Amino acid sequence: MKQFYKLVSQVLIVCMVWTPFSIQAGMIGTDQAVASVQDQSNRDKVLNFVSRGDVVKQLETLGLSAATAADRVGAMTQDEVNRIAGKIDSMPAGADSGSTIAVVLLVGLIVWLVWFKR
């Protein structure tokens, strides 16, 4: 039994030497916990935006691969990520690809031809 106590005491001594004395456990505020969750959410939002199909195509036309863009998002500071995530939130839901203008012009042309061909 003395051997067991000696072994346990030696293990505790080694653990005390390995563990620095300056480590402290403390309470964190709700605002800190919410901020870290929101920061990670914003980073995920930007990464998801960069990995969308239409964005990947646009990045490739500009000469940037999706993997490189994701690496650059990972290297951004949290303020930059938050700013971009805010811009993503403020973007319109649908994108105009120019087809609306073409349809309006086509309908206008048809109406003009019908109107003046009488």
DSSP 17-42: HHS-TT-------HHHHHHHHHHHHH
Residues 6 or more apart whose Cβ sits within 8 Å of residue 39: 78, 81, 82
Q: Say how far apart CA 1 and CA 6 lie, in whole Å.
A: 9
Instruction: Give the pLDDT of residue 8.
Output: 92
Q: Say how far apart CA 72 and CA 56 lie, in whole Å.
A: 14
When pLDDT is cut at 50, 70 and 90, the band that residue 96 belongs to is low
Q: What is the pLDDT of residues 34-78, one digit of tens each?
A: 778 888 888 888 888 888 888 888 888 888 888 888 888 888 888
Please tell me what DSSP assigns to residue 61: H
Instruction: Give the pLDDT of residue 118.
Output: 60
Given a cut of 60, is residue 113 above it in pLDDT?
yes
Percent of the chain with pLDDT over 70: 86
Given a cut of 70, is residue 22 above it in pLDDT?
no
